[in-house]
Amino acid sequence: MKFQRKKGNKGISVFNYALQDLSRDRVKTIFGIAGITISLFLLTMIGCLADSLAFSYLDQATIESGSSDIQFSKISSQTDLNFDPYFPENIIEERLKNIDEIDNFYPRIMYITAASFPDPTLDNLTVTKNLFTYGIKTTLEQNSGKMGNLWICKDNEEYERSEEIFQGPIQSGNVVLTRGAAKLFHIRMGDYITIQFASSKQQYYVQTIVDQDLRFPRTQSSIILFELPDAQHIFKQEGKVNYVHATLKNQELVYDTRDNTKTLQNLREIAEKIQIEVGFDYLVSLPKMDQMAQNDLQTMMMDMTFSFITFFSMLITGILINSILSASVEERIREFGVLRVLGAKKLFTFKMVLVSGFIMAVVGTVIGTLIAAFAGPPLLNLLFNDLEIIDTGYFTIKFIILPETILRSFLIGIIITTVISIIPARHAGKVIISNAIDPARRTSVEEYKLKKEGSANVKVILIGIALGIVGAFIFLVLPRLLSGGSGTNITNYVLVGLLLAVLMGLVFISIGLVPVFEAIISQLLRPFIKKYYSIYKINLYRYRRRNYGNIVMFALTFSFIFFISSVLAMDSANSAVYFQFQYGSDLIISNTGNFEAENVVDFKLLEDLEQIPGIKTTSGMMMNSFDITKIFSMIFRAGEEGIGAFDFDALFGTIPKLGTFAGDMGDYQNFMCSLLAIDENYYDVVDRNMLLWDSETESSDESIETMLNTENSCIISKVLADNLGVYELPAEIRLSTFDPAIESNPNDPNYNNIDQVMNISVLTVVGVSTGLPGMNSFKSSELSLFLGPGVLLNMEDYSKIMNWGAPNEPESGIDKILINLVDNSYENVVEMKSYLENYFEDDYSFIIDDAVSKITLIQDMNQTSSIVMEVILFFSVLVSLFGLLTSMYSTLLERMFEIGILRAMGLKPIDVRYMLMAESFTVMMSSGTLGAIVGWFIAYLLQINVSTLTEVPIVSAINVGTLLSTYLISIGISVIGMIIITRRVEKMSIIDVLRSTF
């Protein structure tokens, strides 16, 4: 064998040797290439998904905001009580003719009207809803081709969309209802609907029912449509409108979803032309651009998630390649020694291993990238759009892949894999000839080697570097993050990077516990492998160093999978707890009426509710603060179930209440507080496990009973107790009431003016709480001190202090009613909610809402995200399994002599297979379980941080489906792989096994 070749042939020689080595170790080569292929397939698919979402943002923005690109209206004035939002429609013809970039202008009138109809499904009970009402030029908007379509619905119960488009116009005296509005009333085409505007009430013929597609914002699914001239006549605004929408001629030249800054600049230039023409009394807005700007956060989170997965995928791939090549170097160490004896240089062996890694990188990268490039968009389209295995809700994604994404994946795969190959290549190049050709491969001589005096300082240097990095981050990076000077994107990336570092750090720390877990698993397996248990135990210890790469791969893989799945599972569970805590019961009724209109919620309604079948328990509440559940109701229901029978003032209460201040007895400290009252049924309605008490004052559930049965007693929030010095119970506080209509209050210098303070009471504190279901005022954080900390009373004391009259009288007003149902399933809650709303809405003005619909929505969203993430991370499990099987195959070849001896001593071929399976199973289960524990633990810590901010009890959760599927798939593939790689040995005779070692 000659190694002295011409200079020009050296590269070819190394390449040929590398090909021969890869061909000789076909199984390991196949495993390595397959692992790279899967990783690059995963990486390219992630890029495809990112490209598709980026290019779909304009479609998504159109769905959310409607088809108009620009709109303008008069600037509202909160100080001008006579503000008129209407302006002449002819402003379009007079001022906006010469703006060439605009394709068309569309004048509209928009108002909120009350619509009524006798619902046939409720025994013709009249149902009233406040709905968005538009006057539009239907034919103009339809003929433009850029304002979406109004699809005529079929005349059936589901109002299914037909293939016919409503062209217009809407006849005078007629209306068109959208599908959502029709479903609210169960109305049919040809029926008459009553619409009230101001003091005018009139019936209109339903000309048709349509399913709007991009004509209006997505959330406005319940709409009444008039033809514009008819609406102008009804609203007494002849020739006037309050909105003008516009579409652009060349949208593709204006919008660039990958560059929002450029898009905004393009739109701003056009919008400024409109602004100059109409004047500065008008507000010009960009609805699509506003929606795309909101998607910036979504884009950033998506990019961070994909970067997170990309890093993780390539890390696993790198560990796999390093494990395969390192095992190959260990097996061929004697061969390298012989080559060195024959004249090969250290650089030759270095190049040979490096080229082997490069060849696997190129082959695996090309295969994985090309498969994903051609099969990715159709596969994703099949999963998301056709089969709907992964639900994207209302949004349809058009899947594409950009050439730069393919090129990026190709370069990442080759570069990272080749760079990782340097580690085992360097090890091969440092082989010492005398050790390599030693037949016994004795390593004990290492014990007698002298070590450098300064080598002991390496650990100290590394510790110093680590501390320096931490210090630099705290003093140099953290202040910029807190100030926002580094930008939102950088901040989020740094936080994700820190989270990744913590996760990986704990994984590496936990690897030290692998022997402990191996010992536990080995004891569980012992009854099944008694015959070769001692050999199995020795091999676990003997090959632990070689299995280190596999241990790291499985620990990292399982940690990432269970971190993400646990975050999503806990988020769903804790979102449910959050809404259950805020609502306090299955249904709530919040008052929006007032005494002048004689529609206030009162104790008579509370008594009537108790008599309705299906209602289990009810409880009344009084308060002088806003109710957060009203805001939830507005956010979740606006535009889809009607606006509801309330305005924005109703969010903060329509019944005038006195203001309250809580202070210490000397009034050295006093704070504006929220005064609340409950009745004796509260304890039976709410979930008692959600009653949170302060342990320092030894408060408990008994505090509620004491407060209900003791005059002038109260329960206060933890933050108020801390600031008033209440650390032992019972204690006394001072409660002052004042009329908010009077400008001065107890915080002013004229506090001693007796005309300002209406009443001063001394209350005995019998409990301190950090959270009570159905109330948002009982917190422990200092921030809640400025939002009105809670003081809870019984109904009698509340009525006395607030001058509210006697409680429980039928006509006495009540702010909130908690309702528990006998059957609190989603279907029954929705049905009972609709029934109560329609049955009592003629006599009372209220919001009725539930927690279960919000919980269901969030759980559905998290379920979709969970499926996507688990599918992506499943491929990482496959890569790790390839590493395990490759390592076991290398170990099998190295242990042929040992296997031959065991066979000669009576061990059956099937026992050899089971022994190797037991070893691989132990390695996988021990490292994977440690990783799963770490991933779950970090997810739980995140939820604790969230709980610190929300001050709502949290629950731990784990995705059982992910747990079972991950372990079962890992075990299944591991078993199948071990059967395949041990098949040849099983068929070999003892003589053949021993002969293969010479």
Query: What integer pLDDT is reported at residue 810 of this predicted model?
Result: 78
pLDDT per position as a tens digit, 70-115: 999 988 754 455 678 899 999 888 888 888 889 899 999 998 888 8
Asked if 343 and 4 count as a contact pair (C-beta separation under 8 A), the reply is yes
- pLDDT at 136 (0 to 100): 93
Structure confidence at residue 210 (pLDDT): 93
Is 281's pLDDT higher than 80?
yes
DSSP 100-165: TTEEEEEEEEEEEEEEEEEEGGGTTEEEEEEEEEEEE-HHHHHHHSSS-EEEEEPSSTT--EEEEE
pLDDT at 352: 80
What single letter denotes the amino acid at residue 904? A
Q: Which long-range contacts (CB under 8 A, 24 or more apart) does 92-95 make?
A: 92/244, 95/277, 95/278
Rounded to an integer, the average pLDDT of 115-139 is: 86
Q: What is the pLDDT of residue 2?
A: 46
Collapse the DSSP code of 759 into the 3-class scheme (helix H, G, I; strand E, B; otherwise coil) and give the result. strand
pLDDT in tens, 455-475: 445 556 666 676 666 666 666
- What's the average model confidence in pLDDT over 321-333? 69
What is the pLDDT of the chain when averaged over all its residues? Answer: 78
Percentage of the residues of the chain whose pLDDT score is greater than 70 = 76
Q: What is the pLDDT of residue 725?
A: 86
986 or 36: which leads in pLDDT = 36
* φ, ψ (nearest 5 deg) of residue 345: -85, 165
Residues 6+ apart with CB under 8 A from 629: 582, 583, 588, 590, 847, 849
Q: In whole angstroms, what is the distance from residue 701 CA to residue 696 CA?
A: 15
As a whole number of angstroms, the distance between CA 634 and CA 323 comes to 57
What 3-state DSSP class applies to 87?
Answer: strand
Percent of the residues in the chain that have a pLDDT greater than 90, as a whole number: 9
List the domain boundaries for the chain: 1-61+303-449, 70-285, 452-486, 487-583+855-998, 585-655+813-850, 658-811
Among 360, 326, 297, 399, residue whose Cα is nearest residue 53: 399
Q: What is the predicted pLDDT for the residue at 166?
A: 92
Amino acid 241: pLDDT: 92
pLDDT of residue 245: 93
- With left for phi above 0 and alpha for psi between -120 and 50, is residue 673 left, alpha or beta? beta
The answer for residues whose C-beta is within 8 angstroms of residue 468's C-beta and 6 or more apart is none
- pLDDT at 863 (0 to 100): 66
Q: What is the pLDDT of residues 8-35, one digit of tens each?
A: 444 457 777 777 777 777 767 777 787 7
Instruction: Give Rg (Cα) of the chain.
Output: 36
227 — pLDDT class (breaks 50, 70, 90): very high
Residue 177 has pLDDT above 90, yes or no: yes
Give the Cα separation of 63 and 57 in Å (integer).
10
Give me the residue label for tokens 């989270």.
499
Query: What average pLDDT does the segment 410-427 reach?
Result: 82
Residues ≥6 apart with Cβ < 8 Å to 572: 858, 859, 862, 863, 957
| pLDDT, position 450 | 39
| Three-state secondary structure of 829-889 | HHHHHHHHHHHHCCCCCEEEEECHHHHHHHHHHHHHHHHHHHHHHHHHHHHHHHHHHHHHH
Label the pairing between strands 757-771 and 713-717: parallel
How far is Cα 478 from Cα 491, in angstroms, rounded to an integer? 9
The residue count of the chain comes to 998
Please state the φ and ψ torsions of residue 254, each to the nearest 5 degrees.
-95, -45
Tokens of 584: 């306090």
Q: pLDDT (tens digit, 9 = 90+) per residue, 948-988? A: 766 777 777 777 777 787 788 878 877 877 777 777 677 77
pLDDT of residue 451: 43
Strands (E), 592-684: 615-623, 659-663, 670-678
pLDDT by residue (tens digit) across 490-543?
A: 665 666 667 777 777 888 887 888 888 888 888 888 888 888 888 888 888 877
Distance (Å, rounded) from C-alpha 795 to C-alpha 803? 12
Tell me: the pLDDT tens digits for 782-819?
Answer: 777 777 888 999 888 888 888 876 777 777 888 888 98
Distance CA 158, CA 154 (A): 8
Counts for the chain of helices (H) and strands (E), in that order: 31, 24
For position 301, what pLDDT does the model report? 59
Q: What span, in angstroms and rounded, lies between the C-alpha atoms of 60 and 52?
A: 12
User: For the chain, how are helix, strand and coil distributed in percent, rounded to 5?
Assistant: 55, 15, 25
User: Looking at residue 66, what is its pLDDT?
Assistant: 86
Residue 186 has pLDDT above 70, yes or no: yes
Three-class SS of 546-561: CCHHHHHHHHHHHHHH
Q: Which 8-state DSSP code applies to residue 815?
A: S
294-298, 598-602, 641-645: segment of lowest average pLDDT: 641-645
The residue-averaged pLDDT of 898-909 equals 77
The rounded distance, in Å, linking the Cα atoms of 115 and 111 is: 12
Whole-number pLDDT of residue 246: 92
* Rounded average pLDDT over 31-41: 78
Q: Are 125 and 119 in contact (CB under 8 A)?
A: yes
* Ramachandran bin of 159, using left for φ above 0, alpha for ψ from -120 to 50, beta for the remaining angles: left
Q: How many CB atoms lie within 10 A of CB 167?
A: 12
CB atoms within 10 A of CB 385: 14
**DSSP code string of 20-32:** HHHHHTHHHHHHH
Rounded mean pLDDT of 146-173? 89
Q: Cα(423)–Cα(354) distance, rounded to whole angstroms?
A: 9
Q: Is the pLDDT of residue 6 over 70?
A: no
Neighbours of 488 (CB within 10 A): 11
Window from 314-323, 534-543, 609-618 with minimum mean pLDDT:
314-323
Among candidate residues 131, 22, 966, 72, the one with its CA nearest the CA of residue 558? 966
The confidence band for 209, taking pLDDT boundaries of 50, 70 and 90, is very high
What pLDDT shows up at residue 645? 44
Q: Which helix (H) or strand (E) holds 338?
A: helix 333-341
Distance of CA 369 to the CA centre of its chain: 29
User: How confident is the model over 926-946, as pLDDT tens digits?
Assistant: 888 888 888 888 888 877 877
Q: How many CB atoms lie within 10 A of CB 194?
A: 15
Please give the pLDDT value at position 446: 43
